[in-house]
């Protein structure tokens, strides 16, 4: 363990679960492996901290000769990896070239709510939104994605998502692999439905209930992805990922398999390996003191019986939090800026990846007992069904706009499993 290999920022973005099945295309023949696509890098410092994103429609050949209509930032599908530095203020100009409204949310970024665009700051067709983001948090692998109310699932499904990396001096001092696209790789996992080689958008009641599910796991938009790299064999690694979760993984050098045993990213070791590379150390972090919590709130992520009779997105399937579907004009909770609270979240019928904007949290307990391995660390997204207690500190103001909390199965969110809080 600890040999130099790859640093991977991985994000499972979007809708359905990572359920994968063998990949078949057209005639029923297995598809040739394709080399992993690597999103372009926009290094904010190299651009004087002024970055541009154009939201655009495109056509993408996931399979040769089969062009699917898609959406992307600065391209036809997905977006560039944006790298920002702690301590900098980064202006991002987002121009919407679509025929429909969109928004861009910086998932995991700690910034005031009006900059952390949820559904409230619409970017109308042909207009530009220019937030100036103060980057003040430690190194982290975040992402950005569309967040327009009611259409988030569909827009993200079509490709409106990208990786956002926060780096800092502390991370640089670790000497981890850092050559973007070579030994420092972004990986975006997405479960998508293909018919006859074309990506199609699943609709209907089941997509609302379960989230959109597919038959193909894309990695950076690549089906059946392969990657040649100078690698070491890593120890057994098991990284459970869920929708809306980003992770920074070091030393991952094995084939990556999906929910079943299907390999979704195949590594082909090449070149020089360096068995003498030094053991790494990672940064330490400070835990929030649980005794500082001043208040306790409970949230139940609900899947109402309406779903059994619903007709799909647009006709509600009865998704709620604490019995109420999301309303843009209603502030559900008011918290005091600087306070620490305990939020207990539970979910009905299935596991839900609960996510909130503008905060990071730690899992205090799961099902009234100890947290499990996958709860460890600082998180903005936590899988819940059984009650999970989260320790949350509110450090970012939500005065000019509220922050959202929601299920990151985007179809649940779009159907109402979302609430919003403001700070006082």
The contact set with ligand C2O (CB under 6 A) reads: 105, 107, 118, 145, 147, 244, 355, 357, 404, 406, 408
| Tokens coding 233 | 């064999």
Interacting positions 302-321 with Cu ion (CB under 5 A): none
Of the candidates 77, 83, 120, 352, which one interacts with Cu ion according to CB under 5 A?
A: 352
Interacting positions 21-40 with Cu ion (CB under 5 A): none
Residue 213 contacts Cu ion per CB under 5 A: no
Residue 145 contacts Cu ion per CB under 5 A: no
Handedness of CA 332, 104, 191, 373 (dihedral sign): negative
Q: Residue 56: count other Cβ atoms within 10 Å of its Cβ.
A: 19
Our CB check for ligand C2O shows the closer of 90 and 243 to be: 243
Our CB check for ligand C2O shows the closer of 118 and 416 to be: 118
Give residue number: closest CB to ligand C2O: 107
Our CB check for Cu ion shows the closer of 317 and 407 to be: 407
CB of 357 to Cu ion, least distance (A): 5
Long-range pairs of 307-313 with CB within 8 A, sequence gap ≥ 24: 307/205, 307/208, 307/209, 310/205, 310/208, 311/204, 311/205, 312/203, 312/204, 312/205, 312/207, 312/208, 313/150, 313/153, 313/154, 313/203, 313/207, 313/208, 313/411, 313/414, 313/415
**Helix/strand/coil for 300:** strand
**How many residues of this chain bind Cu ion (CB under 5 A)?**
6
CB of 244 to ligand C2O, least distance (A): 5
For Cu ion, what does the binding mask look like between residues 398 and 417, x meaning CB under 5 A?
---------x-x--x-----
* Angstrom distance (rounded) from CA 390 to CA 341: 8
172 DSSP 8-state letter: H
Do 60 and 67 meet the contact criterion of CB atoms below 8 Å apart?
yes
411 DSSP 8-state letter: H
Our CB check for Cu ion shows the closer of 83 and 412 to be: 412
Burial of residue 28 (number of CB atoms within 10 Å: 0-12, 13-18, 19+):
exposed
Give residue number: closest CB to Cu ion: 407
CB of 153 to Cu ion, least distance (A): 11
CB of 231 to Cu ion, least distance (A): 32
Our CB check for ligand C2O shows the closer of 151 and 357 to be: 357
Opening angle at CA 228, ends 225 and 230, nearest 5: 140
CB of 292 to Cu ion, least distance (A): 24
| Tokens coding 28 | 């029923």
Our CB check for ligand C2O shows the closer of 246 and 310 to be: 246
CB of 145 to ligand C2O, least distance (A): 6
CB of 186 to ligand C2O, least distance (A): 16
- Distance from first CA to last CA of the chain, Å, rounded? 47
Give the interface with Cu ion as residue ranges (CB under 5 A). 107, 352, 357, 407, 409, 412
């Amino acid at each position: 363990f600890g040999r130099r290999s790859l640093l991977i920022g991985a994000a499972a973005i979007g809708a359905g679960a990572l359920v994968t099945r063998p990949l078949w295309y057209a005639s029923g023949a297995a598809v040739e492996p394709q080399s992993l696509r690597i999103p372009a890098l926009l290094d904010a410092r190299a651009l004087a901290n002024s970055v541009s994103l154009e939201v655009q429609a495109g056509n993408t050949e996931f399979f040769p000769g089969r062009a699917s209509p898609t959406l992307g930032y600065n391209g036809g599908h997905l977006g560039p990896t944006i790298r920002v530095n702690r301590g900098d203020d980064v202006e991002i100009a987002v121009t919407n070239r679509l025929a429909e409204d969109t928004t861009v949310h910086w998932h995991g970024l700690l910034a005031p709510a009006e900059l952390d665009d949820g559904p409230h700051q619409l970017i109308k067709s042909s207009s530009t939104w220019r937030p100036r983001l103060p980057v003040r948090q430690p190194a982290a692998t975040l992402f950005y994605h569309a967040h327009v109310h009611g259409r988030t699932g569909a827009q993200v499904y079509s490709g409106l998502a990208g990786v956002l990396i926060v780096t800092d001096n502390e991370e640089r001092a670790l000497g981890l692999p850092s050559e973007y696209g070579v030994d420092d790789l972004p990986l975006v996992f997405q479960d998508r439905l293909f018919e006859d080689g074309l990506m199609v958008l699943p609709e209907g009641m089941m997509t609302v209930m379960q989230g959109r599910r597919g038959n193909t796991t894309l990695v950076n938009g690549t089906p059946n992805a392969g990657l040649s790299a100078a690698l070491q064999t890593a120890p057994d690694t098991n990284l459970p990922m869920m929708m809306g979760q980003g992770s920074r993984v070091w030393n991952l050098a094995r084939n990556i398999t999906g929910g079943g045993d299907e390999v979704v990213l195949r590594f082909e070791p090449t070149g020089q390996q360096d068995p003498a590379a030094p053991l790494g150390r990672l940064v330490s972090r400070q835990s929030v003191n649980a005794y500082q919590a001043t208040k306790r709130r409970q949230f139940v992520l609900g899947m109402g019986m309406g779903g059994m009779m619903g007709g799909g997105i647009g006709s509600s399937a009865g998704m709620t939090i604490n019995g109420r579907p999301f309303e843009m004009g209603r502030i559900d909770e008011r918290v005091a800026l600087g306070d620490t609270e305990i939020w207990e979240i539970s979910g009905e019928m299935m596991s839900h990846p609960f996510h909130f904007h503008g905060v990071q949290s730690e899992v205090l307990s799961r099902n009234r007992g100890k947290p499990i391995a996958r709860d460890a660390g600082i998180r903005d997204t936590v899988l819940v069904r059984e009650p999970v207690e989260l320790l949350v500190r509110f450090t970012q103001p939500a005065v000019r706009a509220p922050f959202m909390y929601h299920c990151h199965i985007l179809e649940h969110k779009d159907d109402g499993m979302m609430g919003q809080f403001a700070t006082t």
